[in-house]
């Protein structure tokens, strides 16, 4: 899609993030390790190497307050925040959250104070709630229910993210191109989703790890692809070649 270009600039903590338990000892927070910040940017012209699929593949837990989360999922969310920063900028994340109360936040941070909350870190349950809103779009699209996916996209875009998006026209490769300049990480992932939905892509699940990935024009993958990465392809091949375990003699 050479006539659409997504540009995005944000920040992350230079020292990454770490998992912090809440008052009950549950690993409920992901805290930035220091006040050191660095900026990074992304430019996307085709629906490949998406941040949104990395976020969706951090886990599959549903948002239920007080639930025990797999440690591997919390670690994956922490790695995501270390790599890309927190998901909010100045936008109010409160309307997106499902069942999270003020008592779940550290003192001085509430779901209706995006700037302060973003500078501190992230509540694990908030991240899962935000991930669910994206999955509300991706799941029906994966199943071929395009109308439902479009309706979900329009709802989230129309109610929460227009303030993080500015539009301008520039020449790109000798042709006029629509430049979508995005300020928020969550908005960027939503626009990545739009590229997938409008780019004649298919959503596939890796037969080895069950992570989602996309195939189609501009993705660099054939429509018949079965693995999300060479790592999974090699692991599957090794698993097939591994001889069956010998039975121990009684």
Query: What is the torsional sign of CA 190, 192, 195, 200?
Result: negative
Q: Are 55 and 135 in contact (CB under 8 A)?
A: no
pLDDT digits (tens, 9 = 90+) for 157-209: 765 555 577 788 887 777 787 788 887 888 889 888 988 888 778 888 888 88
Give the chain's residues under pLDDT 50.
Answer: 1, 89-118
Coil, helix or strand for 197? helix
DSSP string, 80-117: HHHHH--S-SSS--GGG-SS--GGGS-TT--TT-HHHH
Q: Kindly list the distances between the CA atom of residue 13 and the CA atoms of 6, 36, 75, 80, in Å, as whole numbers in the listed order.
A: 23, 6, 17, 12
Residue with tokens 């939905």: 197
**What is the rounded CA–CA span in Å between residue 138 and residue 146?**
10
DSSP assigned state of 74: H
For the chain, the domains span 4-199, 202-243
DSSP string, 39-68: EEEEEESSS-S-HHHHHHTT------TTPP
Token digits of residue 124: 């694990």
Residue with tokens 């909350």: 117
Q: Are 117 and 42 in contact (CB under 8 A)?
A: no
Residue with tokens 């018949």: 224
pLDDT for 247: 64
pLDDT for 48: 72
Question: What is the model's pTM?
Answer: 0.78
User: Cβ atoms within 10 A of the Cβ of 97, count?
Assistant: 20
Which helix (H) or strand (E) is 155 found in, with range?
Answer: helix 146-156
């Amino acid at each position: 899609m050479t006539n659409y270009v997504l540009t995005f600039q944000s920040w992350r903590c230079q020292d990454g993030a770490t998992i912090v338990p809440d008052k009950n000892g549950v690993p409920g927070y992901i805290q930035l390790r220091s006040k050191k910040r660095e900026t990074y940017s992304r430019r996307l012209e085709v629906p490949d190497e998406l941040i949104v699929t990395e976020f969706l593949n951090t886990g599959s837990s549903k948002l239920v307050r007080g639930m025990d989360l797999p440690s591997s999922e919390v670690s994956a969310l922490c790695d995501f925040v270390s790599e890309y920063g927190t998901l909010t900028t100045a936008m109010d994340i409160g309307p997106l959250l499902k069942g999270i109360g003020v008592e779940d936040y550290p003192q001085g941070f509430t779901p209706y104070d995006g700037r302060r909350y973003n500078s501190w870190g992230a509540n694990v349950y908030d991240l899962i709630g935000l991930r669910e809103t994206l999955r509300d779009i991706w799941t029906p699209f994966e199943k071929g229910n395009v109308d439902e996916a479009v309706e979900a996209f329009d709802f989230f875009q129309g109610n929460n993210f227009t303030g993080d998006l500015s539009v301008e026209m520039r020449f790109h490769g000798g042709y006029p191109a629509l430049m979508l300049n995005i300020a928020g990480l969550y908005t960027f992932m939503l626009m990545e989703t739009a590229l997938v939905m409008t780019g004649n892509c298919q959503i596939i699940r890796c037969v080895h790890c069950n992570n989602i990935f996309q195939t189609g024009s501009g993705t660099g993958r054939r429509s018949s692809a079965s693995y999300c990465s060479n790592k999974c392809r090699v692991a599957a091949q090794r698993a097939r070649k591994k001889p069956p375990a010998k039975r121990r003699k009684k």
